[in-house]
Amino acid sequence: MPSSTPSYHRTAQPTTAYTKRAPSPPAILIPPTRWELPMKVVPSYANVNTASLNREDLGVITQNALELVGADSAMNWTYESRRDAHAILDYLYLGPSSIARNREWLREHGITMILAARDVRQAGLNIMVFDKLAQEMGIEARYVDVSGYHELIRAFPSTVQMINDHMLRIYREQAVETPDLNVQNGTMVIDKTTFNRGKVLLFCETGNDRSAALASAYLMAVFGMSTVQVCQFIMYKRFCVTLAEELKQTLRAYEDILLAERTVHQQELQRSGFTHSVPKKAKRRFDETLDVDGDDGMTGVDPYQSSDRDRFLGRTNFVPFIDA
């Protein structure tokens, strides 16, 4: 009777244990930035998810700023700075949960909404609850509850919408709708002498983990930043942020989703007879991703680090089987 054992088991043996898990994706390497140069975020409607935010709303949220310049937080960084909140944008702050309980800081910076990024277990145990404080100060308290990094990607769109809706609501509550000189071309106009802009504090326990990922997703959705750009910018603005590899992979997946949404919306506009300038990201052949000077033009890193090849580096001497 023939043996049921495959012939190769009798002549060879594996050099390492078998595994059934999926291959790990290549690590997303974040090249260092030139800290002496300011990093800039340029609001552009071409970079916005146009299905959820129109041109007028973007102007209201950014106050029609031509550019938002980020100061280098590392220049004056101390160990105690990790307990502070830092302005990622002029209306979006990122920090630890302790700063959200600092009433003096909230008043001084004109915070109108505190947004907590919590673990679902904290929500179930009634931990990191700020409703009473918010009611006392007359501000809004909102929560984003997830059980792990894998759930953050579903929370990204709702968080972006939550922040934008709050900014627009604060603006419209102060808008003048009377049919006199305060209305121009049928649109509401704000009295700038009394206007108080909405400001959001986004936080988790440390201000370096879930809340940092949510702030990154907001920059990607509203300002069109890539995963590498947003990781550089967040760490530039809050020096103690170190996004885990799983968080960076989640942001990369969200970047692809945003690109698909923009492309679909552009096609819908074209079918409706409207044209809109949305940047296209055409597929490139593998050889086009490499540059003779060792820089792919996007990340500023060696091509072996920015392509799929890094999964196979160091494997040239690997022998899966040896003679029994």
Summarize pLDDT for 38-51 with one digit per residue, the tens: 677 777 777 776 66
On whether residue 12 sits in a domain, the answer given is no
d(CA 235, CA 214): 14
**225 with 289, same domain?**
no
pTM: 0.75
Q: How much of the chain exceeds pLDDT 90, in percent?
A: 38
Q: Is there a domain that residue 25 lies in?
A: no
Give the CATH number, domain containing residue 90: 3.90.190.10
Segment 117-175, tens digit of pLDDT:
999 988 778 788 899 999 999 999 999 999 888 899 999 999 999 999 999 999 988 87
DSSP letters, 245-310, are HHHHHHHHHHHHHHHHHHHHHHHHHHHTT------------GGGG--TTS--SSS-S-HHHHSGGG
Range of the domain at 263: 34-280
**What is the number of domains present in the chain?**
2
Same-domain status, 266 and 132: yes
